[in-house]
Structure 1
Amino acid sequence: MSTQINASATFVAAFLVFSAHLYFPTTAHLFSPAMPLLGALSDLIEPSFPFCPLTFSSASTDHQYGCQYNPLCDNFPPDFPPPDTPAVSVFCVDPNGCCDFTTVQAAVDAIPNHSRKRNVVWINKGIYFEKVTVPSSKPNITFQGQGFDMTAIAWNDTAKSANGTFYSASVSIFASGFVAKNISFMNVAPIPRPGAVDAQALAIRINGDQAAFWGCGFFGAQDTLHDDRGRHYFKECFIQGSIDFIFGDARSLYENCRLISIADPVPSGQRSITGSVTAHARVSEDDNTGYSFVHCSIGGTGWIWLGRAWRPYSRVVFAYTSMSDIIASEGWNDWNDPSRDQTVFYGEYKCTGDGANLADRVPYAQKLSDVQVLPFLSTSFIDGDQWLKPYSDSLIST
């Protein structure tokens, strides 16, 4: 099979997995008679016509390739992207070649270093199977997709293939001022079995300060979202994983997010831990980092902890969050190091659902008072008044 066909097959497989993840907690259904994956691949991987360089007729607004008309661009706006303004530049990405770039990385590379403008990478619907890096020299970039169930960036590295967990991310953000809207970040590596070695597979690593994510999806298993360093904001996002699927040492606020566990289901009557939502890594009481989840929901499969103490001063708060019965009754774990019981800060406030019962929580878990929880409830937790712009800021319409 040719390289082109192999690439197409991988792309289609990623699309099917992506769609399936939205509606099913596990991937077992992909191999059921109702969804014959291999048959679907063989039907879809053959290109229907050759791809040639995009050109435009001076007498027509039809999109054409150098060798033939391209019907895939029929519905693409003829006057898009809009012209640059003093404040905003738009870089258009479309997988069919209907605008400036066909890959996200190519658009990022075209953005000038150290630009003070807001540079919006407008990404048309589709799955972009590529590894993307936004370097520290390119601040103030926005990725704007067409819906987290319509636009995605996917790759399949693992800690083993990338020579380290942190390097396995499908998308790595090192620049400040990054924004993402209505797009998903995926790692489509095989879901590892519990205890697997070097199977961590990041969908995204966020290492830049002042990053915001609106209506985004994060899909993976172990270590899905590396919320690494800086101040970050997540609003109405969908986050899927199994083990430590939100981890790092950032200071982040998650509002109205859905947290979905795909950890191994536990047989009735058994209570063996199969996953964890968070693994925060604060190393000192003086570090102003932590994760706050407000008005979120937790569901899916497994028997999981809310968090475990990756580092001694781990800090995580859940407030007004709905928790299903997949949350283990003890709630939290000290990474099997009892000395951390005295230094972690794990708090819960007015949470609901079968998993929110505090009666059997570990002794170091705190039922927060109105006064204790106040600093964690709003964007002031991440100094949002200094940098966080509204969703509508620099939003590009077609």
Structure 2
Amino acid sequence: MLRRQFLGAGLAAATLAACRTAPRSASREEFDATVLADGRGSHRTLAAAVADAPADGVRPYRVLVGAGRWREKLVIDRPNIHLVGADRAASVLFFDAAAGQARPDGQPWGTWGCASVIVRARDFSASRLSIANTFDYLGNLDSPDFQPMGPNGLQAVALMLDQGADRCTLADVDLRGHQDTLFVDAGRSVFRRCRIAGSVDFVFGSGRALFQDCELQSRARPASKPRQGYIAVPSTPAAQDCGLVFDRCRLTREAGVPDGSVALGRAWRPGRTFSDGQYGDPGALGSAVYLSCWMDAHIDAAAGWDPMAYTARDGQRVMLEPQDARLFEFDSRGPGAARSHNRRWLDAAQAAAYAPARVLDGWEPGT
């Protein structure tokens, strides 16, 4: 009888411990790998768990990310990896590299290498967790002690969807950084009920991305920066019909972000190397659309969008104006919503062209 009571108590304790580290309504048996703070998971690190995934990706390889802070620079190079956290506030993946800082080999991380999580394979999924780049942006912004390598030193990406990524799904995920938080540079992706926080250009890239019911939170910068930030910065290829589409999202702000200080975005022509020199890619014609989004008063109601400079073929610095790109909105609401020459509104028929099936080029992600 005593032994039965002891075993029962032990089972109850084990069950309670599992509940503290596993997502609600999930058991460890549902996962192919587990990474737990107490070290009792199948793998000690997320990188080790991903490395053990099958290379063919025939079925989802589910990884339980237990409650805790996981400092890793994670590359997803196997298809069909599904990361499932305990809760977006509890399971936090982070790293603290900026583009202008040195890698272990002495070379700069660069924009394409500084991300905390880089996805280079199809069918990636993440849910109920956070991904952050914790580089001290504010501490280094005007610091004479920070001597970055290269012109983009303060860029610090949290998540990058790189070449090879496609059909990526993120649900109930927090993405946090300052400059360049989310780099959607390839493939098709959908973000549902996510919160993306940053200040400068914090959702950017050339991929197809649909944001449904997400929060876009602008973070504060020093008062010496009259333009506190920019949200969407697409570099969509001109031949691609859709880029960044925000559907029923909320544009919010941290305390300290002034009224009228944030632009909806600007179109980016990234520098490329061509046979006749290096200059802004003339084939990039950014596409970003806000559909039925609520906007707080930090959005610049009059201007809406800003121009962005790039280097032309002749070496001159040229501004790509909002009217020369594909920057639109429809049914905007809230104190930051307005109509102006610079803020081009679609009509209902035009907005209907940005249906999910078109944005995602025929891909129909599950719910």
TM-score, normalised to structure 1's length?
A: 0.72
Contact 1:72 1:96 in 2 (8 A): no
Q: 1:344, 1:76 → 2: CA distance?
A: 51
Contact 1:248 1:280 in 2 (8 A): yes
Give the corresponding residue for 1:335: 308
Contact 2:192 2:211 in 1 (8 A): yes
Q: 1:133, 1:73 → 2: CA distance?
A: 32
Give the corresponding residue for 1:175: 121
Write the mapping of 1:278-297 to structure 2, written as runs, cut at 5 A.
278-284=232-238, 286-297=239-250
Contact 1:224 1:246 in 2 (8 A): yes
2:346 equivalent to 1:368: yes
Write the mapping of 1:318-333 to structure 2, written as runs, cut at 5 A.
318-328=290-300, 329-333=302-306
Tell me the alpha carbon deviations over residues 153-212 of structure 1, each in whole angstroms, 9 at most, x when there is no partner.
011011022411111100010010011111110111102466785011111101201101
Give the corresponding residue for 1:50: none
Unaligned segments of structure 1, at least 5 residues: 1-58, 64-70, 84-88, 391-398
Q: 1:91, 1:61 → 2: CA distance?
A: 27
SS at match of 1:309: coil
2:332 pairs with one of 345, 351, 363: 351
Change (3 A) 1:374 1:234: same
Tell me the alpha carbon deviations over residues 93-143 of structure 1, each in whole angstroms, 9 at most, x when there is no partner.
1121122112111110111212311111111111111111111xx111100
Q: 1:128, 1:341 → 2: CA distance?
A: 40
SS at match of 1:202: coil
Contact 1:234 1:254 in 2 (8 A): yes
Write the mapping of 1:58-73 to structure 2, written as runs, cut at 5 A.
none
TM-score, normalised to structure 2's length?
A: 0.78
Give the corresponding residue for 2:55: 113
Structure with the higher helix share, 1 or 2: 1
Write the mapping of 1:1-398 to structure 2, written as runs, cut at 5 A.
75-76=17-18, 81-82=28-29, 90-135=32-77, 138-161=78-101, 162=103, 163=108, 164-192=110-138, 198-207=153-162, 208-264=165-221, 266=223, 272-284=226-238, 286-300=239-253, 301-302=257-258, 303-311=261-269, 312-328=284-300, 329-336=302-309, 337-338=318-319, 340-341=321-322, 343-359=324-340, 361-362=341-342, 365-383=343-361, 386-390=363-367
Q: 2:27, 2:191 → 1: CA distance?
A: 29
Contact 2:35 2:63 in 1 (8 A): yes
Q: 2:322, 2:112 → 1: CA distance?
A: 27
Q: 2:51, 2:9 → 1: CA distance?
A: 28
Tell me the alpha carbon deviations over residues 351-397 of structure 1, each in whole angstroms, 9 at most, x when there is no partner.
111111123x52xx42101111112243442135x34122xxxxxxx
Q: How many Å apart are 1:339 and its aligned residue?
A: 5.2
SS at match of 1:106: helix
| Aligned residues: CA RMSD | 2.6
Contact 1:239 1:259 in 2 (8 A): yes
Tell me the alpha carbon deviations over residues 194-247 of structure 1, each in whole angstroms, 9 at most, x when there is no partner.
678501111110120110100000010000011111110000001100000001
Tell me the alpha carbon deviations over residues 251-292 of structure 1, each in whole angstroms, 9 at most, x when there is no partner.
11101101111132659xxx93121001110242x1234111
State the identity %.
25
Q: 1:288, 1:175 → 2: CA distance?
A: 23
* Deviation >4 Å, runs of 4+: 59-63, 71-74, 77-80, 193-197, 338-342
Q: 1:376, 1:80 → 2: CA distance?
A: 38
Q: How many Å apart are 1:60 and its aligned residue?
A: 6.6
Give 1:167's aligned amino acid. G
Q: 2:8, 2:96 → 1: CA distance?
A: 38
Change (3 A) 1:213 1:252: same
Q: 1:62, 1:101 → 2: CA distance?
A: 27
Q: How many Å apart are 1:72 and its aligned residue?
A: 8.9
